[in-house]
């Protein structure tokens, strides 16, 4: 089953707030995102609802909107279950689902899920091969649908080109997009996530950004990736230096978001998954979504 960067569209919405609302409200939010013209909605997996149950509901309640996982944790289910869940969704909603896979983080794998995070790259290599070989005896596609990997470092990015259809990097500056495109080659999907704050006041905008950034700056995977891109340990402490905040979060008016998305495209991204941040982190204001749509989709 084919699924290309054109199917994703140049820009979509990434959000982790749907678990903070009833499923009926989550469906209404997806309907609004579809109505505004965004072609793709990305949802994550941490310790909330099962993402595939939620995605199935959202696909059922929308008509054209693509759903993508950004990302699901490969330690949360075995490779056969993952492959055949993907097939089940593709059978019911052909051409509207993109599977994003990742190794997650040590604390979520070792401590929360009680698995072994000692060799995440090797685990991913074997997992993808096991997915490809998964037995499936039900009505639905025998060929697996498209997948992208949550790739930060060069090895995982190269794997995203050779064993998947591309990469979905998260919490990265534009420079990472350029580096990833070099590694992926010209044809793979490259769909980075980009945080956005619609607020022209530097102090309050950066405060909103730091509220969301702080949890990621405690994760070694993200810290190590930022250090590879020239940031220092001092940049990563206390919610992030102004320099780091400005590199990770596009804040200001809608034109600032438009400019940052354009920068990712010019660096090689096919698609940018925009995450709207607000002071009340568990909301997704309709007025700001409409502002983003007017700027990003015009």
The string of pLDDT tens digits covering residues 185-212 is 999 999 999 999 999 999 999 999 999 9
This model's pTM is above 0.95? yes
Q: How far apart are CA 216 and CA 177, in angstroms?
A: 18
| pLDDT at 110 exceeding the cut of 90 | no
Q: Is the separation of the CB atoms in 75 and 109 below 8 Å?
A: yes
pLDDT band of 280, cuts 50, 70, 90? confident
* Confidence at 105, pLDDT banded by 50, 70, 90: confident
Copy the structure tokens of residue 184. 């992926």
Q: Using CB atoms within 10 A of its CB, is residue 140 exposed (0-12), middle (13-18) or buried (19+)?
A: middle
Structure tokens at 278: 């607000």
What pLDDT band is residue 164 in, cutting at 50, 70 and 90?
very high
User: Strand, helix or coil at 14?
Assistant: strand
For residue 68, with 0-12 CB atoms within 10 Å meaning exposed, 13-18 middle and 19 or more buried, which class applies? buried
In this prediction, residue 111 has a pLDDT band, given cuts at 50, 70 and 90, of: confident
In CATH, what number does 5-296 get? 3.20.20.30
Question: Which DSSP state fits 110?
Answer: I
Q: Are 59 and 93 in contact (CB under 8 A)?
A: yes
CB 264 within 8 A of CB 192: yes
Residue 32 has, within 13 A of its CA and on its CB side, a CA count of 18
pLDDT, mean over the chain: 96
User: What was the pLDDT predicted at 2?
Assistant: 64
Alpha-carbon distance values, 37 to 9, 14, 185, 256 (Å): 10, 14, 29, 20
Mean pLDDT of 146-171: 98
């Amino acid at each position: 089953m084919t699924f290309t960067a054109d199917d994703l569209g140049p820009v979509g919405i990434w959000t982790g707030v749907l678990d903070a609302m009833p499923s009926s409200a989550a469906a209404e939010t997806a309907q609004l995102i579809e109505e505004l013209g965004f072609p793709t909605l990305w949802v994550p997996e941490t310790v909330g609802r099962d993402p595939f149950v939620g995605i199935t509901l959202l696909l059922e309640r929308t008509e054209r909107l693509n759903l993508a996982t950004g990302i699901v944790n490969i330690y949360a289910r075995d490779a056969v279950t993952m492959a055949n869940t993907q097939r089940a969704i593709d059978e019911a909603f052909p051409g509207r689902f993109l599977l994003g896979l990742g190794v997650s983080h040590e604390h979520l794998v070792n401590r929360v899920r009680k698995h072994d995070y000692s060799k995440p790259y090797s685990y991913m290599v074997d997992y993808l091969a096991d997915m490809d070989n998964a037995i499936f005896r039900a009505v639905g596609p025998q060929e697996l649908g498209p997948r992208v990997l949550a790739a930060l470092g060069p090895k995982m990015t190269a794997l995203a080109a050779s064993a998947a259809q591309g990469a979905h990097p998260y919490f990265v500056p534009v420079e990472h997009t350029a580096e990833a495109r070099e590694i992926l080659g010209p044809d793979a999907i490259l769909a980075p996530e980009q945080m956005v704050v619609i607020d022209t006041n530097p102090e309050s905008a950066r405060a909103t950004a730091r509220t969301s950034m702080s949890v990621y700056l405690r994760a070694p995977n993200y810290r190590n990736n930022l250090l590879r891109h020239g940031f220092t340990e001092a940049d990563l402490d206390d919610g992030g230096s102004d320099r780091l905040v400005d590199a990770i979060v596009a804040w200001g008016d809608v034109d600032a978001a438009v400019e940052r998305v354009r920068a990712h495209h010019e660096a090689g991204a096919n698609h940018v998954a925009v995450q709207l941040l607000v002071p009340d982190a568990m909301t997704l204001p309709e007025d700001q979504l409409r502002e983003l749509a007017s700027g990003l989709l015009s």
